[in-house]
Amino acid sequence: AQSVAQPEDQVNVAEGNPLTVKCTYSVSGNPYLFWYVQYPNRGLQFLLKYITGDNLVKGSYGFEAEFNKSQTSFHLKKPSALVSDSALYFCAVRDNTGGFKTIFGAGTRLFVKA
């Protein structure tokens, strides 16, 4: 069965510092991996995804994520955090065998302090 773990409920970082939001996954076969962001009272917005190829994936708003197959991780990173990055971040996984279900993590709230 597929599963996603986001071990941190909240991540606090100062503006200008690098940020990391952690995600580990479990899936049979090779994964499709996604990061989404949710701002207050809004739907989820797509940030980036890993399908195949280069393990470092670049996405919207300066975010990137690194796929690590041996550690089954897909951590979200940004070199320099902005206050406007404060939001709820979700990691998601889907297997690549044609399955429908995308499983989401519980979410990590990022708080960037000015």
Partner 1 sequence: NAGVTQTPKFQVLKTGQSMTLQCAQDMNHEYMSWYRQDPGMGLRLIHYSVGAGITDQGEVPNGYNVSRSTTEDFPLRLLSAAPSQTSVYFCASREGVGGNTIYFGEGSWLTVV
Binding flag, residue 51, partner 1 (CB under 8 A): yes
Part in contact with partner 1 (CB under 8 A); list of ranges 20-28, 63-71, 79-87, 95-103: 95-103
Site residues for partner 1, 59-88, by CB under 8 A, read none
Q: Smallest distance, Å, CB 39 to partner 1?
A: 11
Exposure class string for 86-110: b at 16+ Cβ within 10 A, else e: bbbbbbbbbbeeeeeeebebebbeb
Distance (Å, whole) CA 97 – CA 85: 34
* Of the residues 12, 16, 26, 46, which one makes contact with partner 1 according to CB under 8 A: 46
Part in contact with partner 1 (CB under 8 A); list of ranges 14-22, 60-68, 73-81, 98-106: 98-106
Print the binding letters for residues 5-44 with partner 1: x by CB under 8 A, - otherwise.
Answer: ----x----------------------x-x-x----xxxx
User: Which residues are at the interface with partner 1 (CB under 8 A)?
Assistant: 4, 9, 32, 34, 36, 41-46, 49, 51-52, 90, 92, 94, 96, 98, 100-102, 104-107
